Amino acid sequence: MEITLICIFVLGYLAITLEHTLKIDKLIPALMMMALLWAFISLFHLPVFEVNTLLRELKPTHIDEILLHHLGKTAEIIIFLLGAMTIVEIIDYFNGFATIKNFIKTKSKKGLLIIFSFLAFILSAIIDNLTATIVLITILQKVIKERHIRIWFASLIIIAANAGGAWSPIGDVTTTMLWIGDKVTSLKLIQSILIPSLVCMIAPMLIATTLPAFKGKIAEEKEETDLEENKYGAPMLYLGLSAIIFVPVFKTLTHLPPYVGMMLSLAVVAAFAEYFSNAKINITSIDAAHEEFSSHSPVHSSLSKIELPSILFFLGILLAVAALESLGMLFEFATVLNATIPNSDLVIMLLGIGSAVIDNVPLVAASMGMFSEIADDPLWHFIAFSAGTGGSMLIIGSAAGVVAMGMEKIDFFWYLKKISWLAFIGFVAGSITFILTRDFIF
């Protein structure tokens, strides 16, 4: 029966990886895989276990209890992401991200690369690497008109955004998973990964400045009005970013789950948004009679733009991995892996390289079930770094890469030939930096 369950997981995983080839949204195999795994566990009355992280052993439990436990943990991540996505969409509703264009004054390609790289690094740590990539490529399209030049900048934005998302508890889905799962704390995560992430971003950026694509200046272009500013754009940008940054502070002060703080931040941002837009409708109303007025509400408009397929994908993949964890398979696999490859640093670096080919969400979810180290153990921080930055080595290896690929029609093999080696240098340089600085922090 274990072989059957592993086959279901592998086939589902393969379908997720080949999403673009099969032309099937990855949420479909994720949900199907999750439902089938739990159905087999229930129908065949397979024993399920809860991992005791302190004693490093498996404790027998009942399927209803363990499923409810994993659903609760998954719901925490999903509600947190819903709140963050809504705040970002509210900022966009007021065209707040147009304010960022004011920071870009130079026409030098080298200067633009440095500005966009640091903007991606900082912005992705606050609003996550996927959203930061979308925002910056949208601005990039207004600044640089030649596509053959722009794709170089977009590619370096991918590397910088993934590096920036790795060191922040709210910068990448996988890092958020580790944070909400109490594997890392905000302060220790930032202390241990900030410098390696910075190295991971700066190393390829500095090498790229020597390449012909970043020599000279961009052509002068007439000012565009596509990104014209809303008078409330800048206030909403600063308010929204501050609200998201406040979430880790709220968790530290109250010791409540992060999604509680995110809901508070969302409520505050939504209140200001409604006030600024002078909407006269009740934001909790979903009556069809109010449909004609809903477009006037920034909250209604923002909620309608939330990527529900991504939310359902997280639900499916996290509960699917939870099924294998509950059966004790991941715990047993970790035991074998540690016996085969005693060097955990090598294992985690391989995980990072693997995240360039395989979605890093299930990889990190699996690692959370495999390892039982205490919170803030260096292993968790290295996993956060590797899974977050390793995906840059292939354009399909991260959400930021996939969205950039779609926005700029970047060819897979062009990226493999021109950019992958830069991302690999950054990943290795950052990994070595983490290993060398680890002893000073811990």
Residue 224 CB coordination number (10 Å) = 12
List of residues 6+ apart from 307 with CB closer than 8 A: 85
Contact 441, 191 (CB under 8 A): yes
pLDDT tens series, the chain, 442 aa? 888 999 998 898 888 777 777 888 888 998 999 999 999 999 999 999 886 655 456 788 899 999 998 999 889 888 988 998 899 889 989 988 888 877 787 888 999 999 999 999 999 998 888 888 888 988 888 888 888 889 999 999 999 999 999 999 988 888 998 999 889 999 999 999 999 999 999 999 999 999 998 988 887 655 554 555 678 888 999 999 999 999 999 998 998 999 999 999 999 999 999 988 874 444 444 444 444 444 568 888 888 888 788 888 888 888 988 898 888 887 777 777 777 877 788 888 988 888 887 767 777 888 887 777 888 889 999 999 999 999 899 887 887 887 888 788 888 889 999 999 999 999 999 999 999 998 776 5
At residue 426, the pLDDT reads: 95
Residue 312, φ and ψ in degrees, nearest 5: -65, -35
Which SS3 state, helix, strand or coil, does residue 27 take?
helix
Closest CA relative to residue 190, chosen from 377, 381, 349, 351? 381
Contact 437, 211 (CB under 8 A): no
Reduced 3-state DSSP string for 310-366: HHHHHHHHHHHHHHHHHCCHHHHHHHHHHHHCCCHHHHHHHHHHHCCCCCHHHHHHH
Structure token digits, residue 45: 């009355």
CA angle, 239 then 241 then 243, to 5°? 65
Instruction: Report d(CA 360, CA 358) in Å as an integer.
Output: 6
Closest CA relative to residue 233, chosen from 272, 188, 194, 283? 272
The residues spanned by each domain of the chain are: 2-441
CA angle, 42 then 182 then 30, to 5°? 40
User: Is the model's pTM score more than 0.75?
Assistant: yes
Contact 155, 419 (CB under 8 A): yes
Q: What pairs with residue 57 in β-bridges? A: 52
At residue 279, the pLDDT reads: 45
Instruction: Report d(CA 376, CA 189) in Å as an integer.
Output: 8
Structure token digits, residue 422: 């830069």
- What is the dihedral angle through the alpha carbons of 337, 172, 121, 18, rounded to the nearest 10 degrees? 70
C-alpha 171: how far from chain center: 6
- What is the dihedral angle through the alpha carbons of 174, 179, 183, 185, rounded to the nearest 10 degrees? 130
At residue 220, the pLDDT reads: 64
Sign of CA dihedral 225, 96, 129, 301: negative
List of residues 6+ apart from 156 with CB closer than 8 A: 113, 116, 117, 204, 205, 208, 419, 422
Which SS3 state, helix, strand or coil, does residue 61 take?
strand
Q: What pairs with residue 58 in β-bridges? A: 51
- Amino acid identity at 390: G
Residue with tokens 């912005």: 123
Q: What pairs with residue 50 in β-bridges? A: 59
Closest CA relative to residue 162, chosen from 434, 393, 364? 393
Structure token digits, residue 271: 């209140």
